[in-house]
Amino acid sequence: MNFHGTTILAVRHKGKLAVAGDGQVTMNNTIVKHHAKKVRRIYNDKIIVGFAGATADALNLSERLEAKLERYNGNLTRGAVELARDWRTDKYLRRLEAIMIAADETNMFLISGSGDVIEPDEGVMGIGSGGTIALAAATVLIKHSDLDAKSIVEEAMKIAGSICVFTNDSLTIEEI
């Protein structure tokens, strides 16, 4: 599933978590917004989510994840699995076009409508049209610099924005 129009990057490094999203919204080949907020905190500001895909679908999924977190007392693993199960099996939810990263102090997951709940091996994850570029840049920065998590996502997102036409340098960054 490849979504154009956004890049989301999550990095866990040196005991910190940073999640960044660019601000560009694209419809077909036209930029319609430069400063969208695609990364936000949910569940009493303890969990950070970032989305790629249709905005209304992403907000719907964010609300559904938050409801799962309320039901399971903030257990992100359980909430993510239950959301992915519902997303895959519910007739309405199956049509939603989005993908998300959800992370807290200890967990980081990619959640998709295919039923995927994927935890990265290296504590770094990228989604969206510039996601692989940002992921590659962040991986190199983690291994070959002394930067903290926030600085890594800033630099990696700048690199993605300089290569991917669907990604800009207007960033929203949340940190735990």
CA distances from 60 to 33, 53, 56, 83, 97 (A): 20, 12, 6, 11, 11
Find where tokens 């994840």 sit: 65
Taking each helix axis from N to C end, the angle separating 76-89 and 55-71, rounded to the nearest 10 degrees, works out to 130
Here the tokens at position 112 are 């998709």
Among residues 6, 7, 167, 172, which one is catalytic? Answer: 6
**Residues 88 and 81 sit within 8 Å (Cβ to Cβ):** no
**What mean pLDDT is predicted for residues 60-88?**
93
Q: Which superfamily does 7-170 belong to?
A: Aminohydrolase, N-terminal nucleophile (Ntn) domain (3.60.20.10)
Specify the residue for token string 């199960």: 85
Known active-site residue 6: yes
Q: What's the pLDDT tens digit per position in 116-125?
A: 899 999 999 9
Question: To the nearest whole percent, how much of the chain has pLDDT over 90?
Answer: 69
Query: Nearest 5°: phi and psi at 31?
Result: -80, 125
**Which tokens is 71 given?**
């039901």
Does residue 1 register a pLDDT over 50? no
Q: Do 26 and 32 form a contact (C-beta atoms < 8 A)?
A: yes
Given this model, what pLDDT does residue 97 score?
78
Which has the minimum average pLDDT: 93-97, 106-110, 112-116? 93-97
Q: Take residue 164 and report the two structure tokens written for it.
A: 């991917």
Task: Over range 120-144, report the average pLDDT.
Answer: 96
